[in-house]
Amino acid sequence: MDIFSFLVQTLNAVQYGLLLFLVASGLTLVFGIMGIINLAHGSFYMAGAYLAFGLTSATGSLVWAIVLGVPLAMLVGAALEALLFVHLYKRDHLEQVLLTYGLILIFEELRSLIVGNDVHGVAMPDFLAGSIPLNDTLSYPVYRLAISAVCVVLAIGLYFLIQRTRLGMMIRAGSHDRDMVQALGINITVIYRVVFALGVAMAALAGMLAAPISSVGPNMGGQVLILSFVVVVIGGIGSVWGALLGALLIGFADTFGKVILPEFAGAMVYLVMAAVLLWRPEGLLKKGA
Amino acid sequence: MSDQLLVADKLTRRFGGLSANEAVSLTLTRGRLHALLGPNGAGKSTCINMLSGDLPPSEGRIYYQGRDITALDAPQRSRVGIGRSYQRTNIFPGFTVLENCRLAAQSRHQRAWRLFANALGLRDTLDKAHAVMAEVGLEAQANRIAGTLSHGEQRQLEIAMVLATDADVLLLDEPLAGMGSEEASRMVGLLDTLRRSRAILLVEHDMDAVFAVADEITVLVNGQLLATGTPAQIRSNHEVQQAYLGEEAFHA
Amino acid sequence: MTIKTHTAGIAQAVVLAALAAYPLVGSEFYVEMVAKVLVLGIFAMSLDLLVGFTGLVSLGHSAYFGVAAYAVALIAPEFAPANLWFVLGAAVLISAAVALGIGLLVLRTRGIYFIMVTLAFTQMAFFLFHDTALGGGSDGIYLNFRPEPRIGGWMPFDLAEGSQLYYFILAVAVLVFVGIKRVLRSPFGRVLVGIKSNEHRMRSLGYSTFNYKLGAFVLAGALAGLAGVLYAVLFGFVTPELLSWHESGHVLMMVILGGMGSPVGAVLGAGAMVALEEAFSLLTTHWQLLMGGVILAVVLFLPGGLIALPGRMRQLIKSGGPHE
């Protein structure tokens, strides 16, 4: 592998990892703060991709689709929390697994009823459609760089939200001591709703961003869900920075796995997880955002 | 065989920067009941957790009959002969009293490979279970579901389970907590009997009970060992009086 | 209590007699479907050993089912029938070995981690068969001949014959059912139930619970493998979908639908699940929507599953209303 193709693969790994981080960070926050395991989180990624497809067709641009789609996803997330997930908090993990598994079946069929089972493509915005030449044969697509940039900006934003804002303080307190938070007069219902909506919106945004570079089709949520689990296991439940670390690790393992051992690429990320489990069964960074 | 069963040598446990126990040493001797006293947060639970293997010490060693057992985990320590009861009742609430005791007795001879044997047909285990129920006075409740017992009976069951493991060393974490005075005095009587053939470490808040049954007392304050001695020595120890007990406790 | 055990014994005998007589009256299609229920019943019983008895919520149980099914297809020669006893033994051993390897890793975790990690390792097994040449890709592998139960030169029965295959599966299911019942009252089984109730206490009583959980994990993996072998023999082909995590969710749902902590419940759950799927798929192509609804309803309104239903009804009648 020469230096340029190495550079291309590295950029791909980072971009893939960052996109995964968007999905996994919501998952880990919901785990860490509300203590629920949500198998349907991958469905939000899928919903985002379909939203990108629908809104891009309607408005003519992915940018508009995102501008309209993210607030919409937040609203839907808040509504889902208020109507459905609020019933999960007091239940044990087994029931949460089954209920959210049931939701996956329902979401998949609703998708099939509403938009059918065809595979779609989404056009990337014209101004991001070019690519940057690296040498005579290799070039790198601007759109992938843009995805990475958006994700980095969001990760920084998340950092400020959690570390520097009042909401973030409440989130951190909520993840450590529920009773204390209640005693301080902080409205835990609101925190849960906001965190959940945020998680849904980030997963949906990841789906929208990914739509132009992967196809939009049935069951696209399942794979992302399981990879997000791997990320969360590697990083440690409840740790956003663990999720970032885990996501990048998975990005590299998957991307370079495909180059080095194409047949075993699918299994590579799980080997990384197995290694982490042997070394640190509770994840690289334990709880504490 | 030495009568010094369990020796803790300068046990230290740190949580982050905080020392919950600092160089605490204890010796438990067969035939003697050793009480561990101290105000809340003095590190009594940390100490008993290190002895039982629930918590690894940061420094220090633990010896059982001269053998270094610091590296053994909780199940292994139980199997060498250290049994413990818990401050918060820790039983199998959905099982019968008999099954609680039977399961405890089975741990001495586990026979995990006999997949098709009937556990209820293992005579030695059943006999042991019935013997310990009789010893603590629960045989009439044998077929009741443990979760439906009164609080005091659950505490008795907890002791019965430890006895069923044939432990030589009993680590008892507040066995009298939440008991009525009648139940408590019966438990004190039981402890008195049990000590004859075993070594007992008793963590207890009930001062009267402690001074009534203890052969030796160790006082912990802020994770440090303040004094060790007979009840009379502790009663007259000036430091102990100042640091912890207060005048009233002695005249009450 | 003895009256209750009597009734249960009679009920089980009646069900067994009905199952044994079924091929005499049922059509080929439905006989195969009952055989499928029995195979899935074994699969569900094996998972119940973990979820219902040991308290380990595994979301990756399809791995052992699928690996054994693939083992049958891969071991069998292409142009001749394999020896049943050989492929059966080999496939079950392989799935037990896989369960041992995965169990050593996943049992280091607990709670939510355990759920996620079991799921992830199953997905890894899925990719191994899906992506590599070994498993024939996403199309899977056909089993050209049903294995022969030859012992030396003697063939006690013939699986190529539909009803004999049915009786073989029924016999295995009964053996597994009785075997699990026996294991549950053994010293080993009592420890598993103790671990589910209060693992911390089991440890302080002197049980190294990791070893027991690993034992349960391997046993459950081996029995899931047995179910996988029967599945491959019954349907004659294997695909990566057998290892997919949806299959794991599916079997977990059977356990819950029937009522966990009971081998009868597991089999009942398998039967109910297959029946519901058949009924729903006749109604609409979007039958998964109904299935999802049933799952939500069972978890929300039917704690204890189908097996607890008679007791709940009795209580309802006694209390004279839906309160309490």
CB-CB neighbors (< 8 A) of C117 in chain A: 229, 233, 273, 277
Domain residues for the domain of C87 are 30-243
- Roughly what angle, to the nearest 10 degrees, separates helices C187-204 and C162-185? 40
Q: Where are the domains of chain A?
A: 21-220
Chain A CB within 8 Å of residue C182 CB: no
Q: Is C109 on the interface with B (CB under 8 A)?
A: no
| Chain B residues touching residue C212 (CB < 8 angstroms) | 112
CB contact under 8 A, C299 and A95: yes
Between chains, do A87 and C300 touch, taking CB under 8 Å as contact? yes
The pTM score is 0.91
**The pLDDT of residue C323:** 47
Task: Count CB atoms within 10 A of the CB of residue C293.
Answer: 15
Touch A-B: 3+ C-beta pairs under 8 A: no
Question: Among residues B219, B203, B212, B202, which one has the least CA distance to residue B181?
Answer: B212
pLDDT in tens, chain B (252 residues): 458 999 999 999 998 778 889 999 999 999 999 999 888 878 899 999 999 999 999 999 999 999 999 999 999 999 999 999 998 889 999 999 999 999 999 999 998 888 888 988 899 999 999 999 999 999 999 999 999 999 989 999 999 999 999 999 999 999 888 888 888 888 889 999 999 999 999 998 778 888 888 999 999 988 889 889 999 998 888 888 777 655 444 443
Helices (H) and strands (E) in chain A, counts: 11, 2
User: In this structure, are strands B67-68 and B59-64 parallel, antiparallel, or unpaired?
Assistant: antiparallel
Is residue C286 domain-resident? no
DSSP letters, A200-255, are HHHHHHHHHHHTTTS-B-TTHHHHHHHHHHHHHHHH-TT-HHHHHHHHHHHHHHHH
pLDDT at B250: 46
**3-state secondary structure (DSSP) of residue B26:** strand
Neighbours of chain A (3+ CB pairs under 8 A): C
Which residues of chain B does C188 touch, with a Cβ-Cβ cutoff of 8 Å? 111-115
Q: Has residue C124 been placed in a domain?
A: yes
Q: Is residue C52 part of a domain?
A: yes
The pLDDT assigned to C269 comes to 95
More confident: A167 or C219: C219
Looking at the domain assignment, is residue C233 inside a domain? Answer: yes
Q: How many domains does chain C have?
A: 1
Q: Beta-strand (E) ranges in A10-77?
A: none
Across the interface, do A105 and C130 touch by the CB < 8 Å criterion?
Answer: no
Say whether C191 and B120 touch across the interface (CB within 8 A). Answer: no
A270 part of contact set with chain C, CB < 8 Å: yes
C101 touches A at CB < 8 Å: no
Q: For residue range C76-95, what is the model confidence (pLDDT) as tens digits?
A: 888 888 899 999 999 999 99
Quick one: closest CA in A to C134, which residue?
A: A263
Q: Yes or no: say if C131 and A265 are a contact pair by the CB < 8 Å rule.
A: yes
Polymer length in residues for chain C: 324
For tokens 């126990």, what's the residue? B21
DSSP code for C57: -
Question: Quick check: B164 and B81 in contact, CB under 8 A?
Answer: no
Work out how many CB contacts closer than 8 A connect A with C.
Answer: 121
Which chain C residue is nearest to residue A88, measuring alpha carbons?
Answer: C300
With an 8 Å Cβ cutoff, the interface of chain B facing chain C consists of 52, 54, 73-76, 78-79, 83-84, 86, 90-95, 99, 102-104, 106-108, 110-120, 122, 161, 165
Q: Chain centroid to CA A206: how far?
A: 6
Among candidate residues A287, A198, A203, A204, the one with its CA nearest the CA of residue A240: A287
Are C30 and C212 spatial neighbours (Cβ–Cβ below 8 Å)?
no
Closest CA relative to residue B187, chosen from B198, B165, B172, B199: B172
Q: What are the φ/ψ torsions at residue C205 (nearest 5 degrees)?
A: -85, -5
Task: Select the residue from B51, B109, B115 to test the C interface by mutation, using most C Cβ atoms within 10 A.
Answer: B115
The closest of C246, C266, C247, C250 to C258, measured between CA atoms, is C266
How many beta carbons lie within 10 A of that of residue B239, not counting itself?
Answer: 11
Nearest CB to C108; choose among A105, A106, A277: A277
Report the CATH architecture of B1-81+168-252.
3-Layer(aba) Sandwich (3.40)
Distance of alpha carbon B172 from alpha carbon B159, whole angstroms: 8
| Chains contacting B (3 or more CB pairs within 8 Å) | C
C104 touches chain A (CB under 8 A): no
φ, ψ of residue B14 to 5 degrees: the values are -110, 140
Question: Domain segments of chain B: what residues?
Answer: 1-81+168-252, 90-166
What does the pLDDT look like over A24-51, one tens digit per residue?
998 988 888 888 899 999 999 999 999 9
H or E segment to which residue C232 belongs:
helix C209-235
Q: Are B202 and B48 in contact (CB under 8 A)?
A: no
d(CA A109, CA C292): 9
Q: Do C207 and B107 touch (CB under 8 A)?
A: yes
Does residue C109 fall inside a structural domain?
yes
Torsion of CA C44, C46, C48, C54, to 10 degrees: -170
**DSSP-based helix, strand, coil % in chain B, nearest 5:** 40, 25, 35
DSSP label of C243: G
With an 8 Å Cβ cutoff, are A105 and C292 in contact?
yes
Q: Per-residue pLDDT for chain A (289 aa), expressed as one digit of tens each? A: 688 888 999 999 999 999 999 999 989 888 888 888 999 999 999 999 999 999 999 998 999 999 999 999 999 999 999 988 888 888 888 999 999 999 999 999 999 999 888 888 888 888 888 888 888 888 889 999 999 999 999 999 998 888 888 778 777 776 666 666 666 667 778 888 999 999 999 999 999 999 998 888 887 888 899 999 999 989 988 788 889 999 999 999 999 988 888 877 778 888 888 888 888 888 887 643 3
